[in-house]
Amino acid sequence: MKKIITFIIVFIITISAYCNKTSYNDKTKYIHKDKIVFVPLDTRPVSLQNVEILSKAGGYELLVPPFDSLDNYIKPGNQDKLYDWLQGVVVRPDVYAVVISTNQFISGGLIASRNYKNVTGYKKAINKLKNIINLSRDKKCILISIMPRVSNTLEEQDTVYAANSLNIGYFNAIKTDILSNNMSDIEGLKSRMPSNLFNYMYVIAQEAVINYEIASGLKSNAILTIGIDDTTMKSMLNYAYDDLKKNGIKKYKNIYMLHGADEISLMTIAKLANGNQQAKPSFEIAYEKHWDDRMNLPYEGGTLKEITEEKIHYIGGDIEKDAKNIIYIHSNKDSGITINSIINTRKKKNQNLGIADVAMTNGGDPHLVEEILTNDNFKKIDAYSGWNTPSNTIGTVISELSIKSNLDTVKDKKIYNERDKAYLTFLFIRYADDYIYQSIVRNEMYKWAQSQGEDKYNLKNTNEADSVLQQKMNPYFDRLIDIFNRNTILRIKKAKAVFPWNRMFEIKVEAE
C-alpha cells in the first residue's frame, strides 16, 4: 500500500514539474497565444481604445504599457519606462506578436515627433528596439513608423513647404549631414533658415534616416510599416515619402509603405489576425463613380485607387469581383446615390458591405448616415467609418471588414457573441464619433469654447467642457442606443463622451 501511495505522489510531482516547465517554454503548443504587445502611436482613442476593441473582436487581447510611460497630448512619453516594460512583457509565452510605434518609442508620440528636438537620440533608441526584437525571439514583430506632418495647414504644405528646388536642396543637405553626424554644417543651415522651415526639413529628413536604419537591420521575424501623416501632392513631406520609396528602402525585406497614419494600427491587427488563421479575405472595391479611382482628396499624397488597394494588400487580402467583402467609397457629397440603391445593386447574400465615407473629410456625410440610421438599411451595413482623412477612413473600414470576415467563421456561439459585441461596440463608436460628434456636435462645442474664451486646442476647464459635451451628445446617444439595442445583440444602457486630451478635435466614447 505504501508503495502505491509513494508511486502516486511521485507521479503527481513529476506531472506538476512538467506542467510548470512547459508553461514557461515559449515553444510549447499547450499555451494559447492570444496576446499582442502593443505600443500605440499616441493615447488618442483612435490609436489606443479603438484598437483594443477591434482586437477583442478579432479574438486578441492587447497588452498596453502603463499610462505614465505614454504621451499625453503635447507631453511626450517616457522612453526609459517604456523600454523597461517592453523587456519584461515581450518574453511572455502567451504573446503572439509585438507591435510598436516608433514615433511613440523614439520621440514620445506622434505630436512629439513633429519637433526635431524630440528625435535627436534616435540611434540609441533604434538599438533598444533591436534588443526588443531579439528578446521577442520568434514572435512576429511589427514596427510602425509614421512620417509626421509638421505644418498645421494644407495651404502651408503647398506654399512654404512645397517641393521646390530650394526646399529639396535643404532636405538633401540636412539628410546628408544627419547621416554623417556633421553637426557643424547642421548648425550652419539652422542659422541661415527660418526656424519653422528648419524644423520641418530636419524632421522629415531625420524620419527618412531612421526608417533606412531600421530597415537595414530588420530580423526575419520583423516588419517595418511606414505611413505618412496628413500631406498634399506638392508638399516636401510627400516628396520625402516618395524619395524613400524610390531610392532603395524597398530593397530590404519586410517593408511596407502606406498612405495614412491613425488607421495603420487597426490594419496591423487585422493583418496579424489573418496571418495567424491563414486567412485571405477577399474585397471588391466599389467606387461611387467610375472615374473616382483617380481622385486625389484633401490630406492625401495618392489617389483613391492607390490608397485602397495598398491597404487591402497590406492586411493580406485579395481584390476580386463578387468578393466576400465590398468596400463602397462614398466620395461625392451630392452624388444623388441612395443607400438603398447601394445595397440593392452591390450587396448579395452572405456578403459584408462596408461604407467608407470620405465625401466630406473630417466627418461623416449627414445625408448618407441619416439614410442608414432612419431606415431598415442599418442592419445591412456591416462596417462604417468617416474618421478624419480618406486614408484613415478607408483603412478603418478595410480593418472592420477583415475582422468581420474572421468573425463569420467562428462556430462556438458563446465565443461568437462575445467577439460580436466587441465588433458592434466599435461600430457604435464610429457612428457616435465620426458622424454625431465630428459632423454635428463638434462645431457646437467650438462655438461654446469661443463664447467662454476657451482655446479649442488648449482647454483650461476640461471638467466643464466634458459636462457640456455630454449634454449635447445625450439626445444623439439616446437615439443611437435605441437603434443598436433593437437591431443587434448589444444591450447598451448608457454612453459617455469626454475629451481625451485638453482639445476638442476628437472625443472618447464609452458604451456601457
pLDDT in tens, 39-81: 999 999 999 999 999 999 999 999 999 999 999 999 999 999 9
- The upper half-sphere exposure of residue 64, i.e. CA atoms within 13 Å in the direction of its Cβ, equals 19
User: H/E element holding 161?
Assistant: none
> Residue 162 class from Cβ within 10 Å (0-12 exposed, 13-18 middle, 19+ buried)?
middle
Domain locations in the chain as residue ranges: 1-31, 33-257, 281-403, 410-422+431-512
What's the pTM?
A: 0.92
Query: 194: Cβ–Cβ under 8 A, 6 or more apart, which residues?
Result: none
Hey, how many other C-beta atoms are within 10 angstroms of the C-beta on 196? Answer: 13
Sheet of 222-228: strand order equals: 61-63, 35-39, 95-101, 140-147, 222-228, 255-257
pLDDT, residue 1, reads: 54
The 3-state DSSP class for residue 28 equals coil
pLDDT of residue 345: 87
Nearest Cα to Cα of residue 255 among 213, 303, 312: 213
Contacts of 222 (CB under 8 A, 6+ apart): 133, 141, 142, 143, 254
Please report the pLDDT score of residue 31 as a whole number: 57
Residue 390 dihedral angles phi and psi, to the nearest 5°: -55, -45
Contacts of 96 (CB under 8 A, 6+ apart): 33, 34, 35, 36, 60, 139, 140, 272, 276
- pLDDT value at position 17? 36
Fold (CATH) for 33-257: Rossmann fold (3.40.50)
Across the 512 residues of the chain, what is the mean pLDDT of every consecutive 10-residue run?
50 39 37 88 98 98 97 96 98 97 97 88 93 96 96 87 96 94 93 94 95 92 96 95 87 93 98 95 95 95 97 98 96 88 88 96 94 92 96 98 97 97 98 98 98 97 98 98 97 98 98 95
CATH class for the region spanning 281-403? alpha beta
Same topology for domains 33-257 and 281-403, yes or no?
yes
> Which triple of cell numbers denotes residue 22?
512547459
Structural Rg of the chain based on CA atoms = 24
